[in-house]
Chains A and B, each alone.
Chain A
Amino acid sequence: GEEVAQTPKHLVRGEGQKAKLYCAPIKGHSYVFWYQQVLKNEFKFLISFQNENVFDETGMPKERFSAKCLPNSPCSLEIQATKLEDSAVYFCASSQLKGGELFFGEGSRLTVL
């Protein structure tokens, strides 16, 4: 597609439940980035992929968070056993080249109650 597509727009989960977010990068873009924005503050880098390979996962919490980018499927970010502090907007961005311009999705708002 011509734009990065993120689903769902909004997701509400009870504490302890699983949350899964999806991102379809722009066709032809090899790099995908996930960012977390809590309370409209700074974007916290989580993880990046080069095609289906993890490129940089230094921002991923060691427990509960996982992400995948499989061929011919949207990328996904999954949070097991959500906590209140996971409430945030999760942004996905893609770029064509390593170090290229980032194109952002509209974000997925996760609310953990």
Chain B
Amino acid sequence: AQRVTQPEKLLSVFKGAPVELKCNYSYSGSPELFWYVQYSRQRLQLLLRHISRESIKGFTADLNKGETSFHLKKPFAQEEDSAMYYCALRDRSGTYKYIFGTGTRLKVLA
């Protein structure tokens, strides 16, 4: 079954500390992975996608097919990174629906 797992509901780190938000997936086929973010009082929005291999706001994520993971990382957390982060997998079998994880709330402490 297709599934996205984010094991941490809440992650608290101090400003300047490294951050890693974990995401594991199960999918039979070649997956397409994304990270979406929801800042306080804002809409859910795309942060980054694995195919573009880009760094957005200092965040990167590498798709590891062997470990079926797509962890989100940032070397030095900022207070403005505090938000809800959702890992998502897009079903490429034809319907293109997104399957979301349950989300991780990141709190960056001053």
Contact = CB atoms under 8 A, between A and B. Distances in A.
B101 A42 contact: yes
A62 to B, nearest CB: 18
A98 B96 contact: yes
Given A33-B98, A42-B101, A99 B44 contact: no
Contacts, number: 48
Contacts of B103: 40, 42
A101 B86 CA distance: 14
A42 B97 contact: no
Interface string B95-107: 1111111110000
A111 B55 CA distance: 39
Given A91-B44, A102-B46, A33 B97 contact: yes
A99 B97 CA distance: 8
A99 B49 CA distance: 12
Contact of B43 (A41, A59, A99, A104): A104
A104 B99 CA distance: 14
Given A104-B43, A106-B43, A45 B96 contact: no
Nearest to B100: A43
Interface string A88-100: 0001010000110
Contacts of B100: 35, 42-43
B90 interface: yes
Interface in B39-97: 43-46, 49, 86, 90, 92, 95-97
B98 A45 contact: yes
Contact of A104 (B44, B96, B101): B44
A45 B43 CA distance: 17
9 contacts: A33-B98, A42-B102, A43-B98, A45-B98, A48-B97, A55-B96, A99-B32, A101-B49, A105-B43
